[in-house]
């Protein structure tokens, strides 16, 4: 069965979760429209998504009127988001432009995103296709970009998520009805969005001499100065060197091959964590 990425709000108010859940990889749920309008179904959607073990994220439709107000909206958003959300999104559309105006739209948008990132979240920008090349929005720094464009044409801009249909342009799933549908549109995998990435570590050892492990450790550090490298003490008094974490098996294998060339007689292995 093909699975889908959807975004949900109070307008998706009659979901048959037993039918809908098996079709979903991820649901991005609206928390608020501005600071004063809280989505009345957000918490209910989250309860059902977690019951059916579906990863969820959260978005806020920006309606800030100034840079200072963007900070207020971001803080309200952070206070309302379920802590199990995989990431956050700021939604910037025509209503955002109407409320903020064009002069400070990009700066206010960046303040909102930075506030959420500073709180430890992965944060994306959703922006209308016809707005992205204007008002400085193309210069916004976010963790990913999400753009809607309907009718079969991909966005003209590079982005990570493409909303290819909404409820009025053919977006439909059994169990939900009319719904916004999205698809990956870049190098980021679904695991990147759901924080379910495969991670790998390289282990080298065991060493029974402090001088020996220090020499090997320094050699590895010279070869890979930017890699995370640490040692592990074992119950028998020996030690191991650990290198990681790698979020790509190919990257891990390439590093492993270089290490094996450098230390052909040493015991080393890879583990997925």
Going residue by residue through the chain (273 aa), what tens digit of pLDDT does each one get? 679 999 999 999 999 999 999 999 999 999 999 999 999 999 999 999 999 999 999 999 999 999 999 999 999 999 999 999 999 999 999 999 999 999 999 999 999 999 999 998 999 999 999 999 999 999 999 999 999 999 999 999 999 999 999 999 999 999 999 999 999 999 899 988 997 766 789 999 999 999 999 999 999 999 998 898 999 988 899 999 999 888 778 889 999 999 999 999 999 999 887
Write down the domain spans for the chain.
Answer: 4-194, 200-272
Query: Cα–Cα–Cα angle for 132, 121, 112, nearest 5°?
Result: 45
- CATH number for 4-194: choose from 3.90.1310.10, 3.20.20.80, 3.40.50.2020, 3.40.50.300: 3.20.20.80
The reported pLDDT for the residue numbered 226 is: 84
Residue with tokens 């700066």: 107
- Alpha-carbon distance 227 to 217, whole Å? 12
Instruction: Locate the DSSP E strands across the chain.
Output: 4-8, 24-33, 37-38, 56-61, 88-92, 123-127, 144-148, 161-165, 172-173, 177-178, 180-184, 200-207, 229-233, 239-246, 268-272
Q: Is the pTM of this model over 0.95?
A: no
The reported pLDDT for the residue numbered 21 is: 96
Please check whether residue 156 is in contact with residue 3, taking contact to mean a CB–CB distance below 8 angstroms. Answer: no
- CATH number for 200-272: choose from 3.90.1150.10, 3.30.70.2030, 3.40.50.300, 1.10.10.10: 3.30.70.2030
The reported pLDDT for the residue numbered 197 is: 64
Helix-strand-coil split of the chain, %, nearest 5: 30, 30, 40
């Amino acid at each position: 069965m093909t699975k889908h990425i959807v975004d949900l709000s109070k307008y998706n108010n009659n979901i048959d979760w037993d039918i809908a859940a098996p079709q979903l990889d991820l649901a991005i749920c609206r928390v608020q429209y501005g600071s004063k309008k809280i989505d009345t179904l957000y918490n209910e959607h989250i309860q059902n998504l977690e019951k059916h073990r579906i990863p969820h994220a959260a978005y806020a439709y920006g309606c800030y009127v100034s840079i200072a107000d963007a900070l207020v909206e971001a803080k309200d958003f952070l206070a309302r988001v379920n802590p199990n959300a995989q990431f956050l999104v700021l939604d910037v559309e025509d209503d955002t432009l109407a409320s903020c105006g064009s002069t400070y739209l990009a700066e206010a948008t960046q303040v909102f995103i930075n506030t959420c990132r500073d709180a430890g979240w992965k944060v994306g920008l959703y922006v209308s296709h016809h707005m992205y090349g204007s008002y400085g929005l193309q210069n916004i720094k976010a963790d990913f970009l999400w753009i809607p464009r309907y009718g079969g044409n991909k966005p003209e801009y590079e982005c990570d998520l493409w909303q290819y249909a909404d409820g009025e342009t053919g977006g439909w799933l059994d169990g939900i009805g009319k719904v916004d549908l999205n698809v990956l549109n870049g190098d980021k995998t679904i695991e990147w969005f759901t924080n379910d990435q495969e991670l790998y570590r390289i282990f080298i050892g065991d060493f029974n001499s402090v001088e020996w492990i220090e020499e090997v450790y320094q050699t590895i550090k010279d070869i890979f100065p930017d890699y995370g490298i640490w040692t592990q003490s074992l119950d028998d008094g020996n030690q191991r060197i650990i290198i990681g974490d790698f979020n790509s098996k190919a990257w891990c294998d390439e590093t492993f091959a270089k290490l094996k060339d450098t230390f052909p007689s040493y015991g080393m292995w890879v583990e997925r964590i």
